[in-house]
Each structure stands twice: as C-alpha cells, then as structure tokens.
C-alpha cells in the first residue's frame, strides 16, 4: 500500500468533524508541512473510496473544495495533483504574520505598544456594531521581520466575546494566533487602501519621507457578532498583498 494512503489513518466516521472535512484537513496538513510537494499525484477518488471506506461523493466533495481553494489541481481523465507553491501573502486567508514570516525563513518578533481597555470611539463602535462608549480591548503592536518593522497592528476586540484577551502576553503569541485558537470566524470583511503615514507612523515603521503605506482593515464575525476589527499597516516599499485562486466558484459579473 502506498505511503500516501497511510496519511489517512486517523479518519474517523464517529468524529464530530464531518468526514469530508477530516479528509480536507489531512491533505492541507500534508501539503503545508511540505510532506507532499507540488506536482505530486494524489490517490484517485476510487482508490480513496476503497482505502477510507467512504462514499465517492464524500471524497469528491473534499477534493473539489480543495481545488476551489487552490491547494490542488484536478485534470479530467488524468488525476489530482498538489498545486504550485502557495501564494505568499494573506489577502484571503487569515494568516498569522509570525507563521508567514517564519515560513519565509526569517525571524519574527513583536513589540506591544499599547494593551488596554478603552471606551469605543464612534467609528470603532460603528465598525464593531456596538453602542459608542462601550468598553473594548485595544492593542497596538509592531511586528518585525529580522528586526525590520513590517507591520503595525491596531486592533479592537469585543470583550464580551473574548473576555481574556486583555490578559494575554502578546510578545509571546500574536493576537491573530491567540484569537484563531479561541474561535472559528464564520465571516470576514477585508478593505484595502493606500494611505500616507503621519510622522508617528513613519517613525514606528522606520519609513523614509514620501513613502505610502498599504492598509488592510479586517473585521471578523462569529455568531453574527463582530469579534475583532484590526487595521494592519504595511510600509508600501516592503510589502505586497496577494492571492491566487481557481475562479470556478466566484461570481464574474
């Protein structure tokens, strides 16, 4: 039996996770770990049906969704293959910057500037769909790649949903990593814009005069409540956001 098929040993029909999701996760992990390399052929649907003892429709759903996510490629009549090198930046995925930097073989560190609780300013309250003045947790931190500042994170968190957020040590675990551990977002919104940094921002990001910043604003929902809204500011000359994906499922108008 192929070594590839042994990766699927821990698929369990009685687990709380749906089977197709277990299959997806297994494959995602194998690809992320570099265990399976680009271009490598995956087992065929029928082989997986036999090996995992599940219906082909279940296998098919797992593989189809991985295709939509761009992780694998399928060629009719040929088979399924691990897709090319993954995209490098997080425009769609919600990726922890520490992981992202380390995957590039660089060193990540961060410095917490502010971590407190404030009465929500009007615009923040609006963004978080809360009444103004309601207390929210507030974090401001800089992230470094090999000692070079690369991102300023300004984050607000709904303490009703995340009561322990204010007590964390965000020099050890990034806020993104902590929050992803705590809940599974079921909706997100991204907004991207270009802005000129003011003097403070320029200093924090060690930017020369006249350089713009790329700004990503993200809101994350769980159970129809805004859990967190964050503004990530990048030096325009040191960063780029990107994504690549199969278009089959997207609305083209």
Partner DNA sequence: CAGTGGTCTAGACCACGTT
Partner DNA sequence: ACGTGGTCTAGACCACTGG
List contacts with DNA (CB under 7 A): 13, 18-21, 42, 44-47, 53-58, 60-61, 63-64, 67, 74-80
d(CA 165, CA 34): 33
Should residue 249 be labelled a site residue for its own copies when binding is judged by CB under 8 A? yes
Contact (CB, 8 A) for 241 and 214:
yes
Q: In the complex, what is the shortest distance from the CB of residue 69 to its own copies, in angstroms, rounded to a whole number?
A: 6
* Comparison of 43 and 236: residue with beta carbon closer to its own copies: 236
* Comparison of 40 and 95: residue with beta carbon closer to its own copies: 95
Helix (H, G, I), strand (E, B) or coil at 224: coil
- Report the length, in residues, of the chain: 253
d(CA 44, CA 56): 10
Contact (CB, 8 A) for 27 and 42:
yes
**Per-residue contact flags (x/-) with its own copies for residues 141 to 180, judged by CB under 8 A:** ---------------------------------------x
Tokens of 182: 């705590």
Should residue 38 be labelled a site residue for its own copies when binding is judged by CB under 8 A? no
* Comparison of 135 and 185: residue with beta carbon closer to its own copies: 185
Query: 242: closest CA among 32, 88, 20, 68?
Result: 88
Contact (CB, 8 A) for 87 and 79:
no
User: Which of its own copies, DNA, none binds 127 (CB below 5-8 Å, type-dependent)?
Assistant: none
Enclosing H/E stretch for 215: strand 213-222
User: Which of its own copies, DNA, none binds 42 (CB below 5-8 Å, type-dependent)?
Assistant: DNA
Should residue 213 be labelled a site residue for its own copies when binding is judged by CB under 8 A? yes
Residues lying near its own copies in the complex (CB under 8 A) are found at 28, 32, 57, 65, 68-69, 71, 87, 91-96, 99, 180, 184-196, 210-215, 234, 236, 239-253
């Amino acid at each position: 039996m192929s070594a590839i098929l042994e990766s699927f040993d821990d698929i369990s029909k009685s687990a709380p996770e749906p089977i197709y999701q277990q299959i997806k996760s297994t494959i995602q992990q194998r690809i992320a770990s570099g265990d399976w390399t680009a271009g490598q052929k995956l087992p065929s649907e029928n082989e997986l049906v036999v090996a995992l003892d599940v219906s082909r429709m279940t296998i098919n759903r797992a593989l189809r969704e991985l295709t939509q996510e761009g992780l694998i490629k399928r060629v009719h009549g040929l088979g399924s293959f691990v897709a090319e090198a993954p995209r490098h930046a997080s425009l769609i995925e919600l990726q922890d910057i520490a992981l992202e930097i380390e995957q590039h073989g660089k060193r990540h560190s961060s410095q917490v500037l502010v971590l407190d609780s404030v009465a929500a300013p009007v615009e923040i309250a609006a963004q978080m769909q809360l009444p103004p003045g309601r207390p929210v947790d507030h974090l401001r931190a800089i992230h470094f790649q090999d000692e070079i500042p690369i991102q300023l994170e300004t984050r607000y968190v709904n303490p009703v949903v995340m009561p322990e957020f204010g007590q964390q040590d965000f020099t050890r675990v990034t806020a993104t990593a902590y929050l992803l551990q705590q809940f599974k977002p079921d909706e997100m919104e991204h907004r991207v814009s270009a802005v000129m940094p003011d003097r403070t921002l320029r200093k924090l990001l060690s930017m020369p005069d006249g350089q713009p910043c790329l700004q990503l604003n993200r809101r994350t929902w769980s159970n129809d409540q805004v859990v967190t809204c964050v503004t990530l500011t990048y030096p325009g000359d040191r960063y780029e956001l990107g994504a690549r994906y199969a278009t089959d499922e997207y609305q083209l108008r």
